[in-house]
A = this chain, B = another copy of it.
């Protein structure tokens, strides 16, 4: 996705939330857009060469989460990783390496995704649960750790 297009999508959403789209926030959004999986605050801090204080990263992520720009992800013990929300990136699932903890995004072919949607609504119906989203986490060994 082109950065400018991304910013054009994010900006109105933040304006609606009465939050400024500042340079610091743009940097985080761009960094998340170029990652191929969710990133933790510490990883973003390193990615950006420690140019942004860790506290600002946490604060920015909190603001972006509240505005629906990013979503948190908790597959690994003790740390939260964030990625751009699905309305920006499209629906996808995760490959979680049980060895090194890396998380990679994967797209699911439409036919399969349809099956999953049916499955989810059936299961939820039986349990009197109102589903809003679903996540298929595939655990295993990534190509580096295999």
Contact = CB atoms under 8 A, between A and B. Distances in A.
Nearest to A104: B127
Interface string A81-112: 00000000000010100100000101010001
A135 B134 CA distance: 10
Contacts of A17: none
Nearest to A131: B140
A138 B146 contact: no
A129 B115 contact: no
Contacts of A122: 112
A76 interface: yes
Contacts of A129: 95, 104, 138, 140-143
A76 B133 CA distance: 15
A128 interface: yes
Contacts of A130: 140-141, 146
Interface of A: 72, 74-78, 80, 93, 95, 98, 104, 106, 108, 112, 115-116, 119-120, 122-124, 126-143, 146
Given A77-B80, A129-B142, A131-B138, 15 more contacts: A93-B123, A95-B124, A98-B132, A104-B129, A108-B119, A112-B122, A116-B116, A120-B136, A120-B138, A124-B140, A129-B138, A129-B141, A129-B143, A132-B139, A134-B137
